[in-house]
Structure 1
Amino acid sequence: MSRRLAKRRGRVSHEDLDALSGLDKSELHIRWEEAFSHPPPKYMRRNILVRAVAHETQLEAAGGVPAVLVRQLERAARSMRDGKTSTSASDHHRSASAVTIKPGTRLLRDWQDVTHEVIILEKGVQYRGREWSSLSAVAREITGTRWSGPRFFGLKGQKT
């Protein structure tokens, strides 16, 4: 499938992507050059060529790299150039996704047919009338195993 067709339709079919697997290496090199405007690395394996060209085809069909991601990458590159390591893209992502809970918030979690209630305090949490240092300590008390407290109480995304 040509990149012009992908761009025109705004989507790429599974058949189009599967067809890339059937191309020989010289055809993949041509597709690579169309996609990236330079030849592929000399010793790149065929399966990597297929995946890279498929990814680039899908990306173009979707309208390109999202502007917010471009800005984050530019900010990370600028920070690296300036010798700043504390503002990497991963640090930015980690801080942006951190959840802040106000004291007095009640968290409920059903575990083995028992509802457990935790109250967030200024420093720590309250569970069953006792103060605990962290949600993780409470999760460990409830389950008997090491858990991420924020994950156990549903404050962090679950793997799907």
Structure 2
Amino acid sequence: MAKKETARAARKQLADVPQQLAALASMSVPDLAEKYLEVYGEPTRSRNRDYLKKRLAFRIQELAEGGLSTRAVARISELGDKLPERWRMRQVEETKPTTPPPPVPAEGRAATADGRDARLPPPGTVLTRVFKGAQHRVTVREDGIEYGGQLHRSLSSVAKLITGTAWNGFSFFGLKADGSKAVTR
């Protein structure tokens, strides 16, 4: 008897999918954000109506009809770095333990005992990056970042100087969240 009830509930949910998708078109952004919280279990940071409608439509269908097969997920893992960034990040997030991040000081970033950004490697470390065929080397100092004989406040300011556009300096120089990178001293 339980199988029949489960099957009935599943059919009802599948039949309800077109109605749920149609309802998305008339929802306001706050309504979409509320629905997002309901189906994803976390709040959205986006307030873009079209983006929210697409994400919600995908998730509603995924919940009703099932997500990727285990074979597809295994294949995605095999492909690794050949995949778009959003796929890799989703895989990492799904396998990560759900422990909260460490608290961040009031000024917005973790600092070492001497007040330096904790994401930076130790003073004296030389970071290298090849950009448009030229190799660029920066040296981490106690009081900033040295590049081209001048002292700069951040890796981002050096990255902007090199590229001519705004860059996250940690990303540009390939530093990971734990501050590791192949560097020379």
Q: Given the two structures, how large is their TM-score scaled by the length of structure 1?
A: 0.45
Higher RCO structure (Cα 8 Å, ≥6 apart): 1
Q: Given the two structures, how large is their TM-score scaled by the length of structure 2?
A: 0.40
